[in-house]
């Protein structure tokens, strides 16, 4: 697939996907959703890629659904279908991608744009960026996983406040509340995010993928179930290349060379 609304490049083990409608703050169209899903699948299928980095072009990260798109602006639109066929598979693809997904939030992240960021594994943001659950301003609920991620990340009081007031919060506030990993000086965002992504791409990818799977599974599991899941995963990883390499490197006091297996 050729891309018109996003950019895709692979280098140093990292696939960088850039939302690219800067004059519309990277608002999401149906075409962009198709391209994003294709790009995530492409990164997942590439033997050279061990980390995905998602960011936006221009002054915004993503203003959420393009509200002028015919699919949502027509009379009595089928928003359920827009989510079911468009956003939901994208959120699943990001959360289930068997490698770390870093998100560099370069400006406002509103509506589904905020929740696409929150579906990523490690979120860095410019200090000037803002996060906004804009949905209530147009009579909707947080979608794209918002009602799932927000209460788990924030607890109910802050999740409800963010969703009902639909006011922006700063990147610093997002860090303080545990919504994202780090806020960095504006001019350092892409330097820091690229460094994170490149470093992650040299790490034990299979292990990192299992970390994300186990952590997410924990929300639906009892402690007994989770302990069993951990034991099963550890059993598998213990037979993999990167565990042996990690042990050898430790014993030999050298840097490990992980293959991702
Ligand atoms: C936009 C947008 C936008 C189109 C800025 N659309 N053009 C899922 C499924 C189905 C249905 C509905 O929704 C969903 C999920 C959702 O995401 S719902 C939430 C949708 N997003 C919003 O409600 C946010 C709307 N945008 C805003 O409130 C503001 O633009 C923010 C606060 C993000 C930024 O404000 P400013 O920095 O003042 O920028 P601006 O408003 O001047 O925007 C710059 C341009 O981008 C402007 O275009 P123009 O041609 O006039 O320069 C805006 O119209 C355009 N734009 N967001 N979502």
Q: What is the pLDDT of residue 212?
A: 98
Q: Do residues 221 and 229 lie in contact, with contact meaning Cβ atoms separated by under 8 Å? A: yes
3-state secondary structure of 201: coil
Q: What is the pLDDT of residue 215?
A: 98
Q: What is the CA angle 216-148-153, rounded to 5?
A: 70
Four-residue CA torsion sign, 52, 53, 56, 58 = negative
3-state secondary structure of 128: coil
The residue ranges of DSSP E strands in 20-129, in sequence order, are: 51-56, 60-62, 101-105, 108-110, 122-126
* Residue 61, ligand 1, Cβ within 6 A: no
In angstroms, the CA 99 to CA 238 distance is: 18
Give the distance (Å) from ligand 1 centre to CA of residue 107.
13
Choosing from 60, 110, 130 the residue with most ligand 1 atoms within 8 A of its CB, the one to mutate for a pocket test is 110
Beta strand 169-170 pairing with 130-132:
antiparallel
Q: What is the pLDDT of residue 7?
A: 98
Q: What is the pLDDT of residue 257?
A: 97
List the pLDDT tens digit at each of the 261 positions of the chain: 999 999 999 999 999 999 999 999 999 999 999 999 999 999 999 999 999 999 999 999 999 999 999 889 888 899 999 999 999 999 999 999 999 999 999 999 999 999 999 999 999 999 999 999 999 999 999 999 999 999 999 999 999 999 999 999 999 999 999 999 999 999 999 999 999 999 999 999 999 999 999 999 999 999 999 999 999 999 999 999 999 999 999 999 999 999 999
Q: What is the pLDDT of residue 71?
A: 85
Token pair listed for 191 = 């330097």
In angstroms, the CA 208 to CA 212 distance is: 6
Q: What is the pLDDT of residue 164?
A: 98
* Residue 79, ligand 1, Cβ within 6 A: yes
Q: What is the pLDDT of residue 118?
A: 98
* 153 exposure class (CB count in 10 Å sphere: 0-12, 13-18, 19+): middle
* Residue 166, ligand 1, Cβ within 6 A: no
Q: What is the pLDDT of residue 6?
A: 98
């Amino acid at each position: 697939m050729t891309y018109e609304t996003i950019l895709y490049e692979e280098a140093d083990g990292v696939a960088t996907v850039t939302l690219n409608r800067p004059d519309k703050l990277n608002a999401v169209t149906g075409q962009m959703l198709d391209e994003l899903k294709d790009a995530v699948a492409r990164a997942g299928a590439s033997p050279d890629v061990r980390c995905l980095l998602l960011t936006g072009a221009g002054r915004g990260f993503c203003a959420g659904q393009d509200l002028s798109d015919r699919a949502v602006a027509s009379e009595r639109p089928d928003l359920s279908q827009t989510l079911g066929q468009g956003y939901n598979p994208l959120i699943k693809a990001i959360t289930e991608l068997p490698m770390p997904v870093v998100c560099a939030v370069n400006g406002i992240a509103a509506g589904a744009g905020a929740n696409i960021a929150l579906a990523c594994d490690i979120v860095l943001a410019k200090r000037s960026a803002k996060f906004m659950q804009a949905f209530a301003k147009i009579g909707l609920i947080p979608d794209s996983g918002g009602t799932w991620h927000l209460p788990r990340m924030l607890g109910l009081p802050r999740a409800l406040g963010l969703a009902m007031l639909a006011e922006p919060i700063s990147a610093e506030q997002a860090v303080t509340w545990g919504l994202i990993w780090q806020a960095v000086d504006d001019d350092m965002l892409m330097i820091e995010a690229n460094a994170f992504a490149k470093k992650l791409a040299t790490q034990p990818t299979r292990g990192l993928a299992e970390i994300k799977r186990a952590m997410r599974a924990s929300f639906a599991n009892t402690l007994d179930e989770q302990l069993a899941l951990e034991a099963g995963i550890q059993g598998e990883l213990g037979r993999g290349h990167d565990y042996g390499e990690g042990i050898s490197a430790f014993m030999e006091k050298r840097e490990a060379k992980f293959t991702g297996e």
